[in-house]
Structure 1
Amino acid sequence: MTAPRPVRDRAAAERAGRRAETIAAWWLRFHGWSILAMRARVRVGEIDIVARRGRMIAFVEVKARSTDFAADLALDPYRLRRVFAAAETLFHRYRRPGDDMRVDAIFIVPGKWPRHLVNLWRD
């Protein structure tokens, strides 16, 4: 059993997460997306960024990690299912007739460009 992290570590992680979400939002804007919401919460979870480009609404999970390897391990099938459940719940809030949705992830690693993985959910 590991000891709980001190409160200041949680606060530092929270700040790092918010900073990563801000970087990811600007990355998306640079690539033509409009940001509809940040940290959209529903009963089943939270979506870090909700973005629109044309008729596509992307529900984006943002992960800040210290290495590419750690980033590759950041989204397992369990976490991805939770993100998708939250996206399905939120889709009706943002959709217009003819819109489609997808679940993306953006990984933020120090010293590297953000890595945007698109359409992660596969049935």
Structure 2
Amino acid sequence: MKRQLAERQGRSGEARAALWLRAKGWRVLDQRVKTPAGEIDLVAKRGKLVAFVEVKWRKERKDLDHAIDEHRLARVAAAAEAVGHRYVTEGEDMRVDVILLAPGAFPRHIANAWQP
């Protein structure tokens, strides 16, 4: 039961993040992309930039500061490398972004969150 609730909240957070990205001029290319290295929540494009986006939703705003860590970012980066060829064409750049969400908080978009 608890796992199902977390899954629903995660999907809701991803939908909110996708709406927010669209409002900021991004085009969402894909959602919940599964790879052998892990899952990518959103793939979005704006201009010549493709972002592989990790979305984190927390019940409280104070928990957002600890919602993402280097290990999780490394998994998203590895997943992006595995499927980047599907979304990134010649001359385009790619990066890993994070969007943090909590009730009553404005979405926090961390651009280029992964820098090995």
Deviation of 1:67 after TM superposition, in Å, equals 2.3
1:58 equivalenced with 2:51 (yes/no)? yes
Structure 1, unpaired ranges of 5+: 1-7
Deviation of 1:68 after TM superposition, in Å, equals 2.9
Q: TM-score, normalised by structure 1?
A: 0.91
CA distance in 1, matches of 2:82, 2:63: 29
Match of 1:67 among 60, 66, 70: 60
Query: What letter is aligned with 1:63?
Result: K
Structure 2, unpaired ranges of 5+: none
Deviation of 1:122 after TM superposition, in Å, equals 1.2
Deviates more, 1:89-98 or 1:62-71: 62-71
Helix, strand or coil at the partner of 2:80: helix
Deviation of 1:121 after TM superposition, in Å, equals 1.2
Query: What letter is aligned with 1:89?
Result: A
Aligned residue number for residue 13 of structure 2: 20
Helix, strand or coil at the partner of 1:71: helix
Q: How does 1:14-53 map to 2 (within 5 A)?
A: 14-53=7-46
Moved over 3 A (4+): none
1:118 equivalenced with 2:111 (yes/no)? yes
CA distance in 1, matches of 2:27, 2:8: 23
Query: What letter is aligned with 1:49?
Result: L
1:54-92 alpha-carbon deviations (Å, 9 max, x no partner): 110000000001223311111111111101100111110
Helix, strand or coil at the partner of 2:106: coil
CA distance in 2, matches of 1:114, 1:73: 15
1:108 equivalenced with 2:74 (yes/no)? no
Query: What letter is aligned with 1:38?
Result: Q
1:94-115 alpha-carbon deviations (Å, 9 max, x no partner): 1111010010000111011111
Count of equivalent residues: 116
Q: TM-score, normalised by structure 2?
A: 0.96
CA distance in 2, matches of 1:102, 1:53: 12
